[in-house]
């Protein structure tokens, strides 16, 4: 089973109510058993929702810092949404464990799904989203998908 960020397959679950369909990802996964999930929606956050940013986290370990209580996620209204992000990531991680997921395609620049520990994405974003941190701990191979690029999967 392969996990993929739901927005990459066309589900309108992004903070702005839009999707970021990657046709090449959809084609790559055609015929494969896939779990297409959005941790933020599963954590109880609505769509659309204000964007959120890490506060107090070290680059490259933002997700771990949040899960360990050393950092927070705060949305543009000033609301602390750390618990919702952590809850959603744990729900997705649990489903991955139940379904034997070993590979995940996650959207870049997301505080949940982002995975860019070397900081090489020219558009920036966190080095480690909350879900990405949990999947790494589980030994799942995470591949970042740049939503603004083509042919990089």
Q: Which of 133, 115, 103 is nearest to 34 (CA)?
A: 103
Helix, strand or coil, per DSSP, at residue 54 = strand
| Residue 39 binds ligand SF4 (CB under 6 A) | yes
> Rule CB under 6 A: which of 53-92 touch ligand SF4?
none
CB of 44 to ligand SF4, least distance (A): 12
Q: Which of 13, 36, 12 is nearest to 25 (CA)?
A: 36
Pick one of 14, 22, 49, 61: the residue that binds ligand SF4 (CB under 6 A). Answer: 14
Pair 82, 66: CB distance under 8 Å: yes
Q: Identify which of residues 40 and 65 has a Cβ nearer to ligand SF4 in the complex.
A: 40
Using CB under 6 A, list all residues that contact ligand SF4.
5-7, 13-14, 38-40, 107, 110, 112-113
């Amino acid at each position: 089973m392969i996990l993929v960020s739901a927005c990459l397959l066309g589900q309108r679950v992004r903070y702005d109510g839009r999707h970021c369909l990657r046709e090449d990802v959809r084609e790559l996964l055609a015929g494969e058993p896939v779990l297409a999930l959005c941790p933020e929606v599963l954590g109880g956050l609505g769509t659309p929702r204000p964007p959120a940013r890490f506060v107090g986290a070290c680059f490259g370990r933002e997700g771990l810092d949040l899960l360990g209580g050393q950092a927070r996620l705060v949305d543009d209204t000033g609301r602390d949404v750390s618990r919702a992000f952590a809850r959603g990531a744990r729900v997705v991680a649990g489903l991955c464990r139940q379904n034997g997921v070993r590979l995940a395609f996650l959207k870049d620049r997301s505080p949940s799904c982002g995975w860019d520990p070397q900081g090489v994405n020219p558009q920036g974003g966190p080095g480690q989203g909350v879900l990405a941190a949990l999947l790494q701990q589980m030994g799942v191979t995470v591949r970042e998908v740049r939503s603004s690029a083509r042919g990089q999967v």
